[in-house]
Each structure stands twice: as structure tokens, then as C-alpha cells.
Amino acid sequence: MIEWSQDTIDAFRQTLLDWYDTHGRDLPWRRDHDPYHVWISEIMLQQTQVNTVIPYYERFMTWFPTVQELATAPEARLMKAWEGLGYYSRARNLQKAARQIVADYHGQWPQTADGLRELAGIGPYTAGAIASIAFDQPVPAVDGNAFRVFARLLKIDADIAKPQTRQIFEQVITRIISPDRPGDFNQAIMDLGASYMSAKNPDSEHSPVRQFNQAYLDGVEDQYPVKTKKPRPKPVAYFGLVMPDANQYLMEKRPSNGLLANFWTFPLVKQADVLVATDSGDTDSGDNEPTDSEILELLRQYLMTKYGFKVSLKPVQGRPVTHTFTHQKWTITLLQVIWNERPDLSYFPGEWLNVTKFDQIAWPKVQEKMWARVGK
């Protein structure tokens, strides 16, 4: 890592902020410095592109214009506002934090990064963004853009996949950040990282900070930032059960914790839970792998044993539905359920939902994919 003199730091600040004043992105949450607006936008922007976020942000502000209204909103309406953004724990933490602000802080925002981190779902980056943009605190907001920009500017070769590396970048940026315009400085870094110094196909030749980009000047820009690869998402196979009855479908409400907490989906059964029966010699095949018909029979028995459902099963034509989360990749084989008798739902975590109500229910993306296959 190279170190800049104070003269270089001063020149970099001036160059960066002059460019930002002329070319900074015009985004709806930048039209004031309201901490509520900064907060909602930053949480939405996690794992999501700016162009995708804009309409969500504008609708969210129409539905929940103040932190007080967010705190008291019904969860179903909050989830509907968030539908399609994914990572739904973000939305639940928004409401938890809103309730903290109303109840514990009497509606007043903490104005320091340390104070903001006491709120649910606010980590070091979001705290730095709110503190600098809304309250002019000279603290860094270290996200993927900041890692990439400063790794290239200063040839920092610390592995950004390691949690302890954040401290290195925070110390470096704290020395460089503009004490007079910290919020604009952090937002300029965001814009720089999204344009001239993007992860793929950067255009450093025309970058406003070209002369400060040591990795580019040395011809090694593609080597920064240093980041070890994450493990691939674990594959998990499911059966997705399509259970119609007239204009209704039997839907399952997911548990209150874990992936897709409290969302409605078609009933999902892990294939591993069904196939464990083959270990007991329950199939007649001499092969190690059960046949498709044997698997369907095992699933039929599973549904009878667990829920008391008496059914026949028919595969839905087409390829399985796939959906990737951060740590898991789901592959869902859809099966049409034919009732042999009206089910008793005493042991089933769900209920019949009429298709006319589907547009009022917040669905996770994976359910949208399943419905797109069968709901025509």
C-alpha cells in the first residue's frame, strides 16, 4: 500500500468533489439530507442495482413517508412494499429500527455512526453513510465501491473478503475523507465506483481521478481489489406441491425464522427428507437409486404420514424451477397434487388461498417463479 502526502490528499479531495458537483448522479434520495431518506435508500441498495431501487424507493416513501408511519405499518403491507427486492430480513429490520427510534429515541435520530449502529439492521457501512450524509460526520462509508476504489488508488493488497480488512480501509479513508463535505465525498466514491472504476470494464483512461489511480498507472488495475472467492451456494432439492381446488390453492406459510420467514409459498418438501426412506430398503429396486415412480410413491407416503393427506401425484411438465440465495441454490421439481379425499389441515402449516387474493399477498421471488409455471 502506498501512502499519500497531505498535498496529494488535498488535491484528491478537490478533484473528486469538483467532478461530483458537476457529474454526481441525480437520485431521489439525494435531494435532501433527511436521515430517513438516506437510510431507506441505503438498505434498499444492498444487493440491488440503483435503477431497480428507484421505483421501489419512491413507492415506499408514498406508503411510509415518515419513520413513525413505518414503525406502525402492518407487516403484510411492509412485505408487499418490499416484494421483489429480496433479502426480506432487511425490511423487517427497517421496522424494528423504526420502532426503536420512536420508542427509545423519542423520534430523534442518533447522529453518530456509533449511535446509529445501535439500531437494528444498521452495520458499519450504513451507519457511516447516514452519519456523513445526514449529519456531516467525517466518517467513511466502506462498501464494495469504496473497497474497489481505494484498493486501486493506493494498491491496497489486503483481502477484502476478510472481516478484519475493513479496519484497514476505514483507517485509510478516515485520513483522506473531506472534513468539510464528508457526505458528498462518500457519495462521490459511490458514483466513481459505479462508473469509471467499476468492477468490470472500468474506464480509468477517462476517469477524473486517473492521476491518483496507482494500480491503473502501474498497469495492474485488474488485480485490485484482492478478494478470495466465496464458496458456491449449497444445492438443495425440493418438491414443490401444486395443490389446487376450484379457484384456490393450498399454500404453506414459512416458519417465522430462516429463509423466506413468514412468506406464503406452494408447499415445499426437501427431497432428502423423502428419500431417506430408501435407506430402510423400502423400494423393490435392486439399484441404489430409486426410480421416478418409486420417488413419487415415497413422497405420497410421506404426505400421508406427516399431514394425513391422501393424494396422487403427477409431474408438472417442464424443467425444475431454480432459485439462488446467498448460501443455497434451490432446485424445485413441481408436482400436481390430485386429492383422493378432502384434506384435513389440522397438521398442516397453511391454508386455502383464493387466487383473487394473490395480488394482495407478498410473495418471494421463488414463489413468483413457481406460479409463473402453473398459474396460467
Q: Give me 369's grid cell.
A: 417463479
Strands, E, within the chain: which ranges?
A: 234-242, 244-245, 248-253, 264-265, 268-270, 311-315, 321-324, 328-339, 350-354
Separation between Cα atoms, residue 366 and residue 330, nearest integer Å: 9
Which residues are paired to 317 by β-bridges?
none
Separation between Cα atoms, residue 265 and residue 326, nearest integer Å: 19
Separation between Cα atoms, residue 155 and residue 25, nearest integer Å: 27
Separation between Cα atoms, residue 201 and residue 236, nearest integer Å: 34
Which residues are paired to 238 by β-bridges?
270, 332
Q: Give me 162's grid cell.
A: 476478510
Q: CB burial class (10 A; 0-12, 13-18, 19+) of residue 330?
A: buried
Catalytic residue annotation? 42
Which residues are paired to 350 by β-bridges?
252
Greatest C-alpha distance within the chain: 81
Strands, E, within 110-194: which ranges?
A: none
Place of cell 432459485: 323
Q: Left if phi > 0, otherwise alpha if psi is -120 to 50, otherwise beta: which for 331?
A: beta
Separation between Cα atoms, residue 246 and residue 189, nearest integer Å: 55
* Residue 221 CB-half CA count within 13 A: 19
Closest CA to 265 of 245, 235, 241, 248: 241
